[in-house]
Amino acid sequence: MAATDPGSGAAVGAPTNVLPEKLSIAYSPCPNDTFVFHALTHGLVPGAPAFDVTFADIDVTNYWVQEADAPDVLKISYPALPLIQDRYELLHCGGALGRGCGPLVLSQGAVSAEALAGGVIAVPSLLSTAFRLFELWAEQNVPNGMQIKVLPFHEIMPAVAAGEVTAGLVIHEARFTYQNFGLTCHTDLGQWWEAQTGLPIPLGAIVARKDLGEAALTELSGLIRASVDHAWADPKASHEYVMAHAQEMDPEVAQQHIGLYVNEFTRDLGPDGLAAVEALLAKR
């Protein structure tokens, strides 16, 4: 179940500047995250504390958030939320949801349901939204099950292209680059989800330690929203930071990535975003 938002707006008379002087935060080097958090972590948002930033793929943070040494703030996949909601609060800003931006199942040419059932499917994480959507889709379309192999995200398309796996589950910029590997989109799980539910796709969540306190979480949410606003108002300001961590991504692909994953849901989940989170977590 999605948590209530402590950061929907500070009440009149609510205390301000209650955050510690420094916080630890972990998010991915993907362009959407570096675009969103650039201002917050570079002293461009008035009143923000200093941030100790760790770059980590979401498969790492999905498990790290369960450990005692996890950072104060992390980007995780929504399916990991029920595992840590006793210690972490879901913030209603900074994350990744959207329409037309879901994960893809890629293959070499057309592949039948029987071939999928008898083959190996490479996935980036067992706790990812991508994998949860894949499970839900497979329950209807590949009822006999299949063998799953977890691979780092950047290894999945090459493995499919080399015939090492039958198909691969990919996310993010792979939407724009899979044709370069000679691959075919077998299924767009985002389109499938939207057709099933009418809701956006809940991909990545921002969570913060509950023991920071409600007032601090409210302040933090406001600062993250200010960072999003700054990124939109001056997109060139973050360009160097984004490209420095974009893992040799083509600048045009990086901009497509940002355009797809940074949207109104990034600033505030809103009713549709919350309904999407509830729907995904209810299907367990």
> In this predicted model, what pLDDT tens digit does every residue of 224-281 receive, in sequence order?
999 999 999 999 999 999 999 987 678 888 898 899 899 999 999 999 999 999 999 9
pLDDT of residue 253: 85
Cα angle at 89 between 80 and 228, to 5 degrees?
A: 95
pLDDT band at 1 (very low <50, low <70, confident <90, very high): very low
pLDDT at 154 over 70: yes
pLDDT at 164 over 60: yes
- Listed range (12-26, 69-83, 166-180, 221-235) with the worst mean pLDDT: 12-26
pLDDT of residue 89: 98
Active site residues: 172
pLDDT at 88 over 80: yes
Evaluated on CA atoms 182, 188, 190, 191, the torsion sign reads: positive
pLDDT of residue 174: 81
pLDDT at 111 over 70: yes
* Nearest of 126, 41, 123 to residue 77 by alpha carbon: 126
pLDDT of residue 167: 95
Query: Distance between CA 124 and CA 126 in Å, rounded?
Result: 7
For residue 44, count CB atoms less than 10 angstroms from its CB and return exposed for 0-12, middle for 13-18, buried for 19 or more.
Answer: middle
Mean pLDDT of 156-174: 91
pLDDT of residue 6: 53
What residues have CB less than 8 Å from 72, skipping those under 6 apart?
23, 24, 25, 208, 209, 212
pLDDT tens string 4-53: 455 444 433 344 568 999 999 999 999 999 999 999 999 999 999 999 99
pLDDT of residue 284: 60
Predicted TM-score (pTM) of this structure:
0.86
pLDDT of residue 2: 42
